[in-house]
Amino acid sequence: MRHVLNTSGPIPTAPVDESQVIEGSPQAGSRALAAVAGAEVGVWEMTPGTSTDVEIDEVFVVLSGSATVAFEDGSILTLSPGAAARLHAGDKTTWTVHETLRKIYIA
């Protein structure tokens, strides 16, 4: 059976843990869409603000919004619709979301 995966529907969000928030009042959440060969495919969203995170292995493509992701080594990703990126488990990051960011992830 084939299905169209709904990437535009609502995503339940909650405030980001205050110990991770640097600026603003960002909220984040995700919704699983499918499991493929042992990996989860889903849609994730974060509202404007700045917070830290420790990543898991993930590949993603941005659907909408804009953000920058700063890594502990000083490198920075600039994200906008169509951008694809790879995160590695253990990466320490700082996400600054300028416009609500929505991405499809495989993790």
State the chain's mean pLDDT as an integer.
Answer: 95
In a domain, residue 99? The reply is: yes
pLDDT band at 3 (very low <50, low <70, confident <90, very high): confident
In a domain, residue 92? The reply is: yes
CA torsion, ordered 54, 57, 58, 59, to nearest 10 deg: 130
Tens of pLDDT, residue by residue over 51-85, are 999 999 999 999 999 999 999 999 999 999 999 99
Of 67, 63, 84, the closest CA to residue 5 belongs to 63
Handedness of CA 77, 71, 89, 95 (dihedral sign): negative
| Residue numbers of the domain that contains 53 | 25-106
Per the structure, the count of domains in the chain is 1
Quickly count: other Cβ atoms within 10 Å of residue 49's Cβ.
Answer: 19
Check whether 29 has a pLDDT greater than 90. yes
In a domain, residue 6? The reply is: no
In a domain, residue 42? The reply is: yes
* Angle, CA of 19, 75 and 39, to the nearest 5°: 70
Tens of pLDDT, residue by residue over 90-105, are 999 999 999 999 999 9
Q: Which CATH number covers residue 46?
A: 2.60.120.10
Model's pTM, two decimal places? 0.91
In a domain, residue 94? The reply is: yes
In a domain, residue 101? The reply is: yes
In a domain, residue 68? The reply is: yes
